[in-house]
Amino acid sequence: MKNLCLSLIFLFLFLTLLQAQTVDEKFFDQPHVEVTGVAKLSVVPDEIVIAIGLQERMEGKDKISVSGQEAALKTAIRNLGIPLEQLTLANAGANYVKLSWRQKDVISKTNYHLEVNDAEKVGQVFAVLNDLKVESAYILRFDHSKQDSLQQAVKIMAIKAAKKKADYLLTAIGEQTGKALHVRETNATLLGNGLRNDNYRFNFNTSYEAINDQEDNTELQFTEIELESSIYVIFAVQ
């Protein structure tokens, strides 16, 4: 059975290589030009998710409950003009922490995800979170709401760039570009994304101002998400 499986695999690979060779020979039977079109597209993220952690804590002799912090958080978010629908519960739980050899206390924790749409709003949210003395907060991820359509757009730009390249190359020698004989996408990637200030993270023991050196935190900006596509095309020469 093992030998039969190996034989089938080798047969499949042989037929695949034979087919590829046949396709290549068909291209080379007629005048053609091979080109690669490359295109890039940069967009500013419009979906930024902030992870927020609330934890029960003591201030002097007073216990600050998670429910009280949650109410204050929702009020602050509403005051920033952010719909509460954009605040979602990530998880909630309780950890037992030993306070002495004879007793244990329960420390409640709750984690949220808050989605905002621009860097200015991110700065406003972090300023509020600092005022509320939340346990922790950081940017979890960011994206663009139309990334799928943007990826399609950059691929179209790449294949048009390939056609344009073929046109000017053939025009230089008095020829014209014919129909496309073969099209293959060779690369489609996200080249980069990130914060221009990537220290946007703090906890209860570290102040917002200490982590961010900017005098005006609302000027925080995101680097653009950069999409790139490469399309390899074989065109016939008329």
Q: How do residues 35-47 score in pLDDT, each as one tens digit? A: 999 999 888 888 8
| pLDDT higher than threshold 90 for residue 56 | no
Instruction: Choose one of 91, 112, 143: the last residue of a domain.
Output: 143
Domain that holds residue 224: 30-46+145-238
pTM for the model stands at: 0.63
Residues with Cβ within 8 Å of 35's Cβ and at least 6 positions away in sequence, in order, are 162, 165, 166, 169, 232, 233, 235
Residues with Cβ within 8 Å of 161's Cβ and at least 6 positions away in sequence, in order, are 37, 38, 39, 231
Please indicate, yes or no, whether residues 154 and 200 belong to a single structural domain of this protein. yes
Per DSSP, the residues of 42-57 read EE---EEEEEEEEE-E
CATH code (residue 99): 3.30.70.120
Q: Residue 9: what pLDDT? A: 52
| pLDDT higher than threshold 60 for residue 115 | yes
Q: Residue 139: what pLDDT? A: 85
Please indicate, yes or no, whether residues 52 and 122 belong to a single structural domain of this protein. yes
Please indicate, yes or no, whether residues 64 and 118 belong to a single structural domain of this protein. yes
Please indicate, yes or no, whether residues 158 and 234 belong to a single structural domain of this protein. yes
In the chain, alpha helices (H): 2-28, 66-79, 119-132, 147-171, 208-211
pLDDT band at residue 217 under the 50/70/90 scheme: very low
121-136: average pLDDT: 89
pLDDT band at residue 190 under the 50/70/90 scheme: low
**C-alpha distance from residue 143 to each of 50, 137, 223, 225 (Å):** 12, 18, 11, 8
Please indicate, yes or no, whether residues 179 and 134 belong to a single structural domain of this protein. no
**Backbone phi, psi, residue 59, to 5°:** -125, 100
| pLDDT higher than threshold 90 for residue 20 | no
| pLDDT higher than threshold 60 for residue 212 | no
CA 47 – CA 84 distance, rounded (Å): 15
Residue 160 lies in a domain: yes
- Predicted confidence (pLDDT) per residue in 138-170, tens digit: 888 888 888 889 889 999 999 999 999 999 999
Partners of residue 204 on adjacent β-strands: none
Q: Residue 57: what pLDDT? A: 83
Averaged confidence pLDDT in the chain = 77
| pLDDT higher than threshold 80 for residue 50 | yes
Ranking 143-147, 172-176, 179-183, 198-202 by mean pLDDT, the lowest is 198-202
Residue 21 lies in a domain: no
Please indicate, yes or no, whether residues 120 and 65 belong to a single structural domain of this protein. yes
Residue 56 lies in a domain: yes
Residue 225 lies in a domain: yes
Give me the percent of the chain exceeding a pLDDT of 70: 66
Please indicate, yes or no, whether residues 136 and 181 belong to a single structural domain of this protein. no
Please indicate, yes or no, whether residues 192 and 237 belong to a single structural domain of this protein. yes
pLDDT band at residue 235 under the 50/70/90 scheme: very high
- Predicted confidence (pLDDT) per residue in 64-109, tens digit: 888 889 999 999 999 999 999 999 988 655 454 444 444 445 567 8
Q: Total structural domains in the chain? A: 2
Helix orientation angle between 66-79 and 119-132, rounded to the nearest 10 degrees: 150
Please indicate, yes or no, whether residues 120 and 176 belong to a single structural domain of this protein. no
Please indicate, yes or no, whether residues 59 and 119 belong to a single structural domain of this protein. yes
Q: Are 120 and 44 in contact (CB under 8 A)?
A: no
Residue 9 lies in a domain: no
